[in-house]
Every structure is written in C-alpha cells, then in structure tokens.
C-alpha cells in the first residue's frame, strides 16, 4: 500500500485517488458535461496549447500525445502541478500512443518538423505529410466524431491532407493560421501606440505565408478605421512584417520556431468551439462558393460552432482585396493539388 510519506519522494508513484496523469482510462464522449480535448505533439506549441486549454477550465480532460516516451506524461504532470495556481480543474494526461485520445471532442495536431533558419514553410511539405497523414487516419479511428485543428506547416496543405486522410467532412477539419497572423498584425499595430493590441480588429486571410491578405478596409482600432489612424506607408510596413513574422522569430531563435502565439491561437479556436463563442475568427477552411472560391483551403473569416465550422462570414472587401484573396486561393489550390 502506498503510504502518505511515499508521495513526497521524487519519482514516487501517485496514489490512485490523486492520479491526474496516465492513470485515467480513456472514455467515450465528454464526462461531467464538459468536452474532452487532445493535443498531438508535445513540443513547445503543443505544450502551450494544452496549457491554455486547461486554464480555460472548459474541458473535463486534456490529453497530450507524443512519440517520445515520457515527454507528454511529464508535461501533463508539470501542468497539473499548476492547477491550484491557475485555478483550473481540467484533468491532464500524457501518453505516447494515439489510442489515448479515444472519444475526444477536439484534436489539435502540432506534430511535425519545425522550420529552421532559411527554410520556407513549404520546405516541410514531404516530411510533415508523412507525419500528418497517418495521424489523421488514426484520429478518425479512435475519435471519429472529433474536430481536428491543424497547426503543422505548411498549414493549408497539411489541413487538406488531414481532411483527405481522416475522411472527415470539411467543416470538421480546420487550419490554424489566420488567428495567429491576425494576432501578429494586432500586436504590431499596438507598437505604434494608436491602440492596445486587444483594441485592434483585423483579419489575416489568404495563406499562412507569402499570399497572406490583410484587408485594411476591415481593420479598426477602437472603432476607428486604421487607415485614418496610420499613414499608408506605416500600414504597408506592418502588413509586410506580419507576413514575415514567423521567419523573424525563427531567425532570432536560431534553433526553433514560434510557439507562444501559435499554441495560444490553436487553443483559442478550440475554446471558441467549446464555449459557443460568436466571435469572428480567421481560419483555413474549404469554401463552397463564398467569395467566389471553391476547390481549395484558404484563410477566411468564420464563426465556429460546437462541431467545427458554423459559417463563413463574407466581409465587404474592396475590389483589390477581393482580387488578392482570389489569387491567394488559386496559388494554394495549386499546392494542394500537388499534395494530392
């Protein structure tokens, strides 16, 4: 029998009544009226995403999965140690097998190789397709009613691949890109002093890369158009820096890529679905005629619902913005067809 004193020893087993990690058998569907979420890939992005999900206290359980033995379980236990500090009751569990996500409602996929300095997102296509494809197939087997949020780069191509390999309907496979890029734009606007980042409303559409489109006609700060608060040259520079922000972080880190903002962006999408938020977010989705687009995956403004994409929101873009968005969608369509 495990004594109370034994709990104090480093590496000691955890008493059954206290086991938040590794001891709870997976169950079908939400327990206690709250949904369950999983994060596949327990690297930096996955760890941050799991932390934000747990701290929202919307979920009964968050499961982390990683192929590295002990990594996901260690992070899950470490996060659980912060439950009293962050005031959440979400259980955390780590595993090295996708069977552990049996019956979850939401799955964030961060598994894949990160960019290194000098690499573009598309340089990762073949390597990450070999990871995302099998992961999506397994998700479909063990969590057939879940919604998948893809974070792995190249984002749009991997989102398409996850949809094809899982067999899920398009509204249940979403790409995390626009939330992150919109946040980066808002943060950079905040550096000008015209408003706090959380007072800026703007959307990064198109691709998570060179075809990114930020319609300035739909960008506001404190209810005022940004075009009235900042000159054209400043806005153009902010848009360009937003487009290159991921590479900027990679260059500075030298041995990794961004993870705080990407992890929080992925978690925000899942939280929006679980909470029934009516907020408009930019996500990579498959359009069916909206904005005159189809046959691709592209960043568009959307509202999310309990079971994924609820609606694509059509904003009154200018002719130039619409043209740029359609050009981005066309280029993405070409790359997606190459993935197959």
For the ranges 6-10, 114-118, 326-330, the one whose mean pLDDT is highest: 326-330
Task: Decide if pLDDT at 241 tops 80.
Answer: yes
**Domain membership flag for residue 92:** yes
**Domain membership flag for residue 39:** yes
Residue after which a domain boundary falls, among 143, 158, 175? 175
Please give the Cα distance from 279 to 172 (Å, whole number): 18
Task: Decide if pLDDT at 20 tops 70.
Answer: no
Cβ neighbour number for residue 145 with a 10 Å cutoff:
13
Query: Do both 257 and 283 map to the same domain?
Result: yes
CA angle at 49 for the pair 152 and 155, rounded to the nearest 5°: 20
Query: Do both 145 and 293 map to the same domain?
Result: no
Q: What is the pLDDT of residues 209-224, one digit of tens each?
A: 899 999 999 999 999 9
Task: Decide if pLDDT at 276 tops 80.
Answer: yes
How is residue 269 written in tokens?
A: 């999408």
pLDDT of residue 19: 47
Q: How confident is the model at residue 33 (pLDDT cuts 50, 70, 90)?
A: confident
**Domain membership flag for residue 286:** yes
Query: Do both 191 and 152 map to the same domain?
Result: no
Query: Do both 194 and 248 map to the same domain?
Result: yes
> What's the number of domains the chain is made of?
2
Q: What is the pLDDT of residues 109-138, one digit of tens each?
A: 999 987 667 666 567 888 999 999 999 999
Query: Do both 163 and 192 map to the same domain?
Result: no
Q: Which candidate in 44, 81, 160, 208 is catalytic? A: 208
The verdict on whether omega for the bond into residue 29 sits within 30 degrees of 0, i.e. cis, is no
Query: Do both 115 and 209 map to the same domain?
Result: no
Query: Do both 64 and 152 map to the same domain?
Result: yes
User: In which domain, by residue range, is 258 found?
Assistant: 178-339
Q: Is 208 one of the catalytic residues?
A: yes
pLDDT of residue 216: 98
CATH number at residue 154: 3.40.50.720
Q: How confident is the model at residue 9 (pLDDT cuts 50, 70, 90)?
A: low
Q: What is the pLDDT of residues 177-213, one digit of tens each?
A: 999 999 999 999 999 999 999 999 999 999 998 999 9
End-to-end CA distance of the chain: 56
Query: Do both 207 and 239 map to the same domain?
Result: yes
| Integer CA distances (angstroms), 212 to 89, 247, 324, 328, in order | 38, 14, 9, 7
CATH number at residue 235: 3.90.110.10
pLDDT of residue 115: 66
**Domain membership flag for residue 12:** no
């Amino acid at each position: 029998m495990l004594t109370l004193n034994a709990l104090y020893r480093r590496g000691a087993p955890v008493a059954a009544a206290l086991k938040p990690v590794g001891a709870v058998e997976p169950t079908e569907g939400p327990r206690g009226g709250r949904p369950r979420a999983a994060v596949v890939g327990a690297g930096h992005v996955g760890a941050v995403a799991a932390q934000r999900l747990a701290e929202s206290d919307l979920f009964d359980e968050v499961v982390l999965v990683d192929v590295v033995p002990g990594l996901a379980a260690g992070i899950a236990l470490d996060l659980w140690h912060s439950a009293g500090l962050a005031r959440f009751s979400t259980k955390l569990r780590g595993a090295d097998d996708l069977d552990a996500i049996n019956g979850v409602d939401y799955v964030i996929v961060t598994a894949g190789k990160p960019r290194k300095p000098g690499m573009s997102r598309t340089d990762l296509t073949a390597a990450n397709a070999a990871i995302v494809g099998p992961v999506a197939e397994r998700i479909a087997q063990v969590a057939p009613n879940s919604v998948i949020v893809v974070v792995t780069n190249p984002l749009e191509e991997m989102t398409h691949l996850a949809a094809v390999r899982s067999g899920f309907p398009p509204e249940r496979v979403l790409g995390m890109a626009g939330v992150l890029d919109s946040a980066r734009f808002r943060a950079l606007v905040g550096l000008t002093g015209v408003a706090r980042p959380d007072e800026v409303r703007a959307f990064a559409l198109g691709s998570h890369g060179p075809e990114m489109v930020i319609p300035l006609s739909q960008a506001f700060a404190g209810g005022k158009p940004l075009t009235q608060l900042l000159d054209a040259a400043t806005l153009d520079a902010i848009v360009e820096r937003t487009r290159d922000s991921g590479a900027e972080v990679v260059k500075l880190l030298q041995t990794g890529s961004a993870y705080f903002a990407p992890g929080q962006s992925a978690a925000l999408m899942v939280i929006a679905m679980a909470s029934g938020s009516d907020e408009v977010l930019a996500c990579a989705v498959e359009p069916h005629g909206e904005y005159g687009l189809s046959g691709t995956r592209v960043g568009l403004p959307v509202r999310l619902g309990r079971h994924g994409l609820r609606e694509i929101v059509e904003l009154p873009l200018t002719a130039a913005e619409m043209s740029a968005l359609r050009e981005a969608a066309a280029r993405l369509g070409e790359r997606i067809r190459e993935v197959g």
